[in-house]
Amino acid sequence: MDKKFVALMVLFFLSVTVFTSIVVFNRPLTQLTKATEELQPSASNSHIFAWPLTVKADGQDKSTLTVFGANYKNNPISLINKQVTLSTTLGQISEEPISEEKRKQGEAVFVIKSTQPGIAEIKATIDNVQLNQSVTIKFE
């Protein structure tokens, strides 16, 4: 085959592909290829919050820890089928049951209790991505 003819065929099929992606999917082809990045948690945009920050060290009093998952565009990501884990330097952490809708909106809830006084530093991880932020709880 003639080289010019092959080049024109390649150009034609490339143009048809770009045109189809813009018209049919109503967005550029590059946005379709970045879909997986939007589902990945961001270490800097995801957050962990705790309340209250001071708790009695009696094994009964507890602090509620809430993890909010977000992607690199700072949009919430679904935490369904994602592993959310917390680590602490003091106390015991357990996950609280929440509605599937809240989990779908990027929220996971845990509680921490301790029988020993001291300061617990808590770090969160979403699917092997450790959040940049951590929280501390004082047990007295």
Same domain, residue pair 70 and 135: yes
Same domain, residue pair 28 and 95: no
Residues of the chain above pLDDT 90, percent: 69
Looking at the fold, whether 135 and 95 belong to one and the same domain comes out as yes
**97 shares a domain with 56:** yes
Pick from 130, 69, 62: nearest CA to 96 = 62
Pairwise CA distance, residues 78 & 2, whole Å: 52
| 130 and 67 part of one domain | yes
Task: Tokens for 65, please give them.
Answer: 């820890």
Rounded to two decimals, the pTM is 0.72
- More confident: 106 or 27: 106
Q: Is the dihedral of CA 87, 93, 98, 100 positive or negative?
A: positive
When divided into structural domains, the chain yields a total of 2
Residue 33 has pLDDT above 60, yes or no: no
Residues in the chain: 140
| 28 and 54 inside one domain | no
> 36: how many CB neighbours lie within 10 A of its CB?
7
29 and 64 part of one domain = no
Q: Give pLDDT, residue 93.
A: 97
Domain range for 20: 3-33
Together in a domain, 54 and 116: yes
Q: Quickly tell me which residue has 């967005």 as its tokens.
A: 27
**Looking at residue 132, which CATH number applies to its domain?**
2.60.40.10
Residue 73 has pLDDT above 60, yes or no: yes
Same domain, 83 and 112: yes
Mean pLDDT, range 124-138, rounded to an integer: 95
Q: Please say if the pLDDT value at position 117 is more than 90.
A: yes
Instruction: Please state, rounded to an integer, the average pLDDT across all residues of the chain.
Output: 89
Residues 10 and 53 placed together within one structural domain of the fold: no
> So what's the pLDDT on residue 83?
94
Q: 72: which DSSP letter?
A: T
Of the candidates 68, 32, 77, the residue with the CA atom closest to the CA atom of residue 49: 68
Give the pLDDT confidence score for residue 2 in this predicted structure: 83
d(CA 82, CA 11): 42
Please state, in angstroms and rounded to a whole number, the distance separating the CA atoms of residues 95 and 83.
12
Kindly state whether residues 69 and 132 are assigned to the same domain: yes
| 26 and 57 both lie in a single domain | no
